[in-house]
Amino acid sequence: MKRVLLTLLFSLLTATALAQNVERLVVLPFNALGSAEAYGLGLATGVQRSLNVLDNVYVPTIGDTLLVTQRLQSQERLSSENVVTAFGASVIISGQITAQGNQADVLLGFAGPRYPEIKDLSVQGPLDEPQQLLQVVIDAVINELGLRVSGDDRRQLNAVIAQTPSLPSLQAVARAALRLPGNNLTELNAAAQLDPASSWVLSEQARALALAGDGPAALENSLTAIQLEPNDIEALIIRAIILRSAGELEVAQQAFDAALQINPAHALALEGKGQLSGDAAQAQQLFEASLNSYPRLVNAYLDLASLQRGQSEQRTLQTLRRGAQAIPESVTLHGAVIRQALRLGDSTGALTYLRQVLSEEANLSPALYSLAALLPSEFSTEALELLSAGKTRYPQSDTIALAEAEVLESSGDNQSAEAVLTEAFAFNPESSQLANALAILQARNGKIEAAKTTLESVAGQNPTVRVNLAQLYLQAGQSQAAINTLEPLLQRSPDDAELYVLYGIALGRSGRYEQALNSLDQALALNPESSSAQGAKAAIEQQRELTKNQAIELNQDAAVAFEAGLSALGNGELEQAAQNFAQASELQDNSLIAFYQGYALQRSGQIRAALPLYERALEDFPESDTVLNNLGYGYLQLGRYDLALDYLKRAVAADPENTEAQVNIGLTYYSLARYAQAVSAWETALSLDAGLESSIGNLLEDARTKAAE
């Protein structure tokens, strides 16, 4: 984690023109018979991908329509009306494909509010020419629905249809585009060999590469895809998401903007642009617009709720509940509702809500039952009752066993928690997740040899076992044990960069900062591109600077919770991190814990809750420019420019080369219309880090102009 950079950027962009009247269409998988069978998913996906090019039309993924229809069917509730309700759709498009020699007969079906009765429409096209067949089907759909297609729309649509790959590759694209768990990389690699000039294939291959962890190849392929066809909106969005994951936010925003130029109602482009917007009002508009296009977009509800958090906690809860009602199978949204109720102090309401979900939802999954682990310890009895019901239904579920063990452990019954995991592991001795959880618990219970045995049973007798064991020690807050485990491994494998990363982290956790940084420098010498080494080095440098080289000792229990918080923070799980740090703080009042708890809260938008924690950190670190900068930024966010200025002046005095503090004090001066001082601060920041030009350059020019008036 880098030194905290919390810069308030005033959006200078004009708000995107948001579509109000969106034609929400649902395309179901086609029923393909005989020699036309290969077209079932492929042709439906082609229709979905092509129609999304049209202005103010949105068609969700075939995977989501498949998920909804299967769910409704299992509940014996499958009907056009219920599908329409789930998506807020105006039309449902289905199809049946049969082959007559070399001709494909496609019987299109139209249902929904515009059709009192299902309307059938028959079209024909060449069986062996997917592009021509798709063109025929798209033209028929557009004509039947009376969709407005401008000249630009038609040009863009034809260009995208021209990218239709051969039939085998179309099948690979369709399976990948379902967006279901799993990675289709092998199949897509073969498709790319067969159709190397199809933006459809290369964009889906890029996404699969990104999921496989090959970022550079994903970026290269996604760029090639949009170079092949700049109007392929799905390729643009995949490109934007990959860029965002790579940290290239400005270019990602440009890709989202390009997609919205093609279709201003594309839900994923709206949501993606909202995530990158520096303007809260604009972001809220974008998230609401994305939900207007696609009422089942889970991330948009979460994004909107995150934006509202800190402004109105009740409104946040309402947004999350709205999302959970729209997508009742979403464990993520139900979990978010429970967490928000707990944040509001309504533990009873959280329990009542979970009970209601478990009583009303027809297709209960183990993951839904596992939400009982979110309930506070005073409801451990009730949580265990819910999990027991889940265990009756799914007696060998790893998910439920892990949740039950978590509840038992949080209530202080580590022995019973270990027994639950031991029993589950006996059912599934190949589960690495169970093995890791059991081994960690065994280590916490002082059973180090048992923990080793558990890990060895899934990893075999090789050095990887000891690496996992070292990670286990770190997770359990036993940094010295991790050091002792890693040192022999480094002697045998002196060229293993990741071993040096773990060793450096363990040394840093022990307060041996210089040795830790040396180890991480060695890791970077072996692998200059190691993001784990870079992140660990930045985190240790931050901690060393924060504590002014003072080693901070934590007791065993606090160390465990603190390590969990750091791990969650590194994964971007801000709410979980804040909870872990709060737990650590309850176990040991400590300025370092307070700082990180405040940091997690501030990053999640809970500014007022973060400030007292920063003040606590300042008690022991009164000259820390990092703490002072974060305090100043927090007050800047709240509009308390007087307090912001005070803390940021102190931060700059403590370290004049703190670029974040220079940027933030410039923003404070700018907000106070003290433009000359804002110019001075920002020029100093740019002299320290020229890379800030992209974020503050426009504001600096504006401040210079106003200062000269």
Note the pLDDT tens digit of each residue in 82-137.
999 999 999 999 999 999 889 999 999 999 998 989 999 999 999 999 999 999 99
- pLDDT computed for residue 57 by the predictor: 96
- Determine the residue type at 206: A
**Residue 6 pLDDT exceeds 60:** no
Residue 447 phi, psi dihedral angles, 5° rounding: -100, 70
Average pLDDT, the chain: 89
Structure tokens at 252: 């990602």
Across residues 552-581, what is the average pLDDT?
82
Alpha-carbon gap, residue 220 to 292, rounded angstroms: 33
Residues ≥6 apart with Cβ < 8 Å to 163: 198, 199, 200, 228, 229, 232
Of 344, 364, 345, which is closest to residue 356 (Cα–Cα)? 364
Structure tokens at 691: 């890379």
Q: Poorest-confidence range of 27-36, 225-234, 342-351?
A: 27-36
- Determine the residue type at 517: L
- pLDDT computed for residue 149 by the predictor: 94
Burial 510-529 (b: 16+ CB within 10 A, else e): bbbbebbbebbebbbebbee
**Residue 353 pLDDT exceeds 50:** yes
CB 18 within 8 A of CB 264: yes
CB 532 within 8 A of CB 498: yes
Note the pLDDT tens digit of each residue in 459-478.
654 566 678 778 777 776 77
- pLDDT computed for residue 537 by the predictor: 85
At residue 448 the predicted structure's pLDDT band, cuts being 50, 70 and 90, is low
Q: Which residues pair with 95 in a beta bridge?
A: 108
pLDDT greater at residue 158 or residue 563: 158
Structure tokens at 515: 């040795």
- pLDDT computed for residue 10 by the predictor: 28
pLDDT greater at residue 449 or residue 60: 60
Domains of the chain: residue spans and CATH: 23-162 (3.40.50.10070), 623-709 (1.25.40.10)
Across residues 597-617, what is the average pLDDT?
91
**Residue 1 pLDDT exceeds 60:** no
CB 287 within 8 A of CB 314: no
The pLDDT > 90 percentage for the chain reads 61
Strands 91-100 and 103-112 turn out to be antiparallel
pLDDT greater at residue 485 or residue 187: 187
Alpha-carbon gap, residue 22 to 56, rounded angstroms: 5
Across residues 385-393, what is the average pLDDT?
95
- pLDDT computed for residue 571 by the predictor: 76
Q: Poorest-confidence range of 72-81, 202-211, 354-363, 562-571?
A: 562-571
DSSP characters over 504-547: HHHHHHTT-HHHHHHHHHHHHHH-TT-HHHHHHHHHHHHHHHHH
Structure tokens at 158: 């034809």
- pLDDT computed for residue 9 by the predictor: 30
Highest mean pLDDT among 117-131, 450-464, 587-601: 117-131
- pLDDT computed for residue 15 by the predictor: 31
- pLDDT computed for residue 392 by the predictor: 94
Structure tokens at 52: 């999304």
Percentages of the chain per state (helix, strand, coil), in multiples of 5? 70, 5, 25
Across residues 281-286, what is the average pLDDT?
94
Q: To the nearest 10°, the Cα dihedral for 123, 129, 131, 134?
A: 20
CB 20 within 8 A of CB 145: no
**Residue 709 pLDDT exceeds 80:** no
Q: To the nearest 10°, the Cα dihedral for 564, 565, 567, 568?
A: 110
pLDDT greater at residue 547 or residue 661: 661
- pLDDT computed for residue 460 by the predictor: 52
- Determine the residue type at 22: V
What is the C-alpha R_g of the chain?
28
Residue 78 phi, psi dihedral angles, 5° rounding: -75, 120
Across residues 254-275, what is the average pLDDT?
96
At residue 13 the predicted structure's pLDDT band, cuts being 50, 70 and 90, is very low
Residue 111 phi, psi dihedral angles, 5° rounding: -140, 170
At residue 605 the predicted structure's pLDDT band, cuts being 50, 70 and 90, is confident
Q: At what angle do helices 659-671 and 675-688 cross, to 10 degrees?
A: 160
Query: Distances in Å between the alpha carbon of 652 and those of 328, 374, 628, 638?
Result: 50, 41, 9, 20
- pLDDT computed for residue 19 by the predictor: 44
CB 382 within 8 A of CB 351: yes
**Residue 18 pLDDT exceeds 60:** no
Name the H helices within 363-431: 366-370, 380-393, 398-410, 414-427
Structure tokens at 467: 């690496």
Helix (H) / strand (E) containing 309: none
Of 334, 350, 336, which is closest to residue 304 (Cα–Cα)? 336
Geometric angle at alpha carbon 448, from 442 and 451, rounded to 5°: 55
Query: Distances in Å between the alpha carbon of 520 and those of 408, 490, 527, 533, 551?
Result: 37, 13, 10, 6, 18
Alpha-carbon gap, residue 339 to 320, rounded angstroms: 10
Q: Poorest-confidence range of 31-40, 54-63, 151-160, 216-225?
A: 31-40
- pLDDT computed for residue 2 by the predictor: 34
Across residues 678-691, what is the average pLDDT?
90
Highest mean pLDDT among 29-38, 386-395, 598-607: 386-395
pLDDT greater at residue 505 or residue 315: 315
